[in-house]
Every structure is written in structure tokens, then in C-alpha cells.
Amino acid sequence: MKKSLIVFLAILIMAAFSSCELKETPTTDTQGERTNFINANTDFSCFLLKNSAALNTQEDFDKQLFETYKKYNLPVENHLLMISILDKYENDQEVNEIVKTNSAPCKDGGSPVFY
């Protein structure tokens, strides 16, 4: 799971190199899963764009990712469920474009735009 997640995030980050404000709080319903996934990846991508030097080790990277996903009510303790969520959205062009667009302002030190 870690490799898939890291590869997915690396792709998102590379695509996102293009400022961020919270428009929506994390939701808990199934419908909100997609929104939470988008917002978590937007938040994490923005963090990486602004603080890449802060993540010196794979452990630091994983910890920050875990905390970000947890912040957006994603089931980080349930690896099988997280894999299914990742599988659902990793190749979703619309999700990737939203994360890319919403992370773009972070490149210039701004804040992300949340979905």
C-alpha cells in the first residue's frame, strides 16, 4: 500500500507544481469520501510544495501523510479500506485535475483551495 500511495502522491505532486484556503470541513458520510480524499491530497501536496525539506526520511513522509489523511476522516488504520479508496480515485482524471488545480497556488507560497 505504501508504494502505491507514494507513487500516486508523487504523480499528483508533479502534476500540481503550479495558494490554499479551507472551503469545506471534512465530512463523515460515504458521499464525502471523495471530497475528503481530494482535500487530503490537496493539503498534503501543498504541504510538500512548501515544506519538502521537512520530510527527511520515509518515516517523516509516511507520518505526515497519515496525519493528513486522518485529519480528513480517511480510515488510515484500516489498510484494506485505504487501498480500496486509493484504487477508486488514483486513476480518476477529474480527481487528479482537481488536486492539481487546488494545489497550484501553493507553488508560489499561497494557500490551497479545498474542494
Q: Residue 93's pLDDT is what?
A: 96
Reported as a pLDDT band with limits 50, 70 and 90, residue 18 is: very low
Do 82 and 74 touch, CB atoms closer than 8 A?
Answer: yes
Assess whether pLDDT exceeds 60 at residue 24. Answer: no
- The domain locations on the chain are 2-113
Assess whether pLDDT exceeds 80 at residue 51. Answer: yes
Query: Which pTM does this prediction carry?
Result: 0.72
With cell 525539506, the residue in question is 53
Q: Residue 56's pLDDT is what?
A: 86
Question: What are phi and psi for residue 11, nearest 5 degrees?
Answer: -65, -45
Q: Give pLDDT tens digits for 58-72.
A: 999 999 999 999 999
Instruction: Kindly state the average pLDDT of the residues 77-87.
Output: 95
Q: Residue 35's pLDDT is what?
A: 96
